Structure 1
Amino acid sequence: MSDPATILFTAEIPPYRSLSGRGITIVVCTLGVLSLGVTTVAWTIGAWPVAGFSGLEIFAVLMLLRWNARGARSMETLELTETTLSIDRADARGRRHRLTVSSAWLNAVLEEPPGRVPSLLLVSRRRRIEIAKDLGEEEKRDLAVALKAALHRQRHPTFDNPQLREG
């Protein structure tokens, strides 16, 4: 029997973000240049209150992008050992929560409600835990396939007995 702490499968699930840090910088700079152009034109024709609203607009966009970037720090990690599956979640503030479930009767189920992104659930008897909430549809499907395969390998190990090999 091998060490029960041996990790058979691991998956790190970062939240989906369409913009990288460089992309955010490009968006902010482009919006700033466009806003400065509109503000300058408005100022020259005497509509100086536009400058204040333009400043508020830039401030609101910066706050929303900052809020979005802070959410990118969250992470979910799955670790399957011979006896358990651990789900380690970290939120945007860095708070961590670890949940460990027995993998003996565990199944990965992909529920697909019509018109929505499917939900990936870990089901064990009557307990249902949703994982990978931040992933898109294709990523959830890939994770479901990989997790099902890992659970299958864990329950049906292949043994290599040198005495049974053909000479």
Structure 2
Amino acid sequence: MNHPPDHGSPAFFDIELKPHRSLGPRGFAILIAFVALLNLGAGMAFWLVGAWPVFAFCGLDVLLVYVAFKYSYRQQRAREFIRLDADALVVRRVDIQGREKVWRLQPYWLRVDCDAEDESAPLHLWSHGRALTLGAFLSPGERRRLAEGLQEALVRWRQPPGAGLRPLADA
């Protein structure tokens, strides 16, 4: 269930996060072909020396590599949408099955937490003693940049009207 983004009020921050996959469809086909040929060669060698049951396991290897990559590509369907407008910070998360979960947070109380020193530190939004993890699939550098961008947007949001800082749409 996809909802169109709300563009009724200007955004202070608006981003779509998605997992990165460096191997495209063509690269995937080449990799599977290479793994299949390699396993076929190894399987044939075992077959010729009389160890024919090993041939089946070589085919199983190819199947397992294929299934693992397909699962990885399926995870790429996950998305997180983060939008800060005049009313709220809305986080919309879509999982790999297409199920959607939405959080509406009051920006005044939000605290962005991402330890710049710790490479494995998650990015959390804290509000009223509860934490929401964002961008778990991002690299550490991407999480830090996201945290910095969110923090800057919250500073702009908290500025009184006429203070010179405006939403992104007006800038």
One fold, TM greater than 0.5? Answer: yes
Paired residues, number: 158
Give the equivalent residue in structure 1 for 2:15: 11
1:34 is the counterpart of 2:57:
no
Identity %: 30
Output the TM-score relative to the length of structure 1.
0.85
Give the equivalent residue in structure 1 for 2:156: 153
CA contact (8 A) 2:40 2:59 kept: no
**1:69-104 CA-partner distances (Å, limit 9, x unpaired):** 111111111000012001111111111111111111
Moved over 3 A (4+): 111-114
Could you list the runs of 5+ residues in structure 2 that have no partner in the other structure? 1-6, 165-171
Partner of 2:101: helix, strand, or coil? strand
Distance 1:50-1:152 versus aligned 2 partners, 3 A rule: same
Give the equivalent residue in structure 2 for 1:125: 128
CA contact (8 A) 2:112 2:150 kept: yes
Partner of 1:122: helix, strand, or coil? strand
Give the equivalent residue in structure 2 for 1:51: 55
Higher CA-based Rg: 1
1:91 is the counterpart of 2:95:
yes
Superposition RMSD in Å: 2.2
Q: Distance in 2 between matches of 1:139 and 1:160?
A: 30
Highest RCO, 1 vs 2 (Cα 8 Å, sep ≥ 6): 2
**1:113-142 CA-partner distances (Å, limit 9, x unpaired):** 85x511111112312111111111000011
Output the TM-score relative to the length of structure 2.
0.83
CA contact (8 A) 1:16 1:136 kept: no
CA contact (8 A) 2:123 2:133 kept: yes
Paired letter, 1:131 = L
Paired letter, 1:143 = L
Q: Distance in 2 between matches of 1:80 and 1:22?
A: 37
Q: Distance in 1 between matches of 2:160 and 2:39?
A: 62
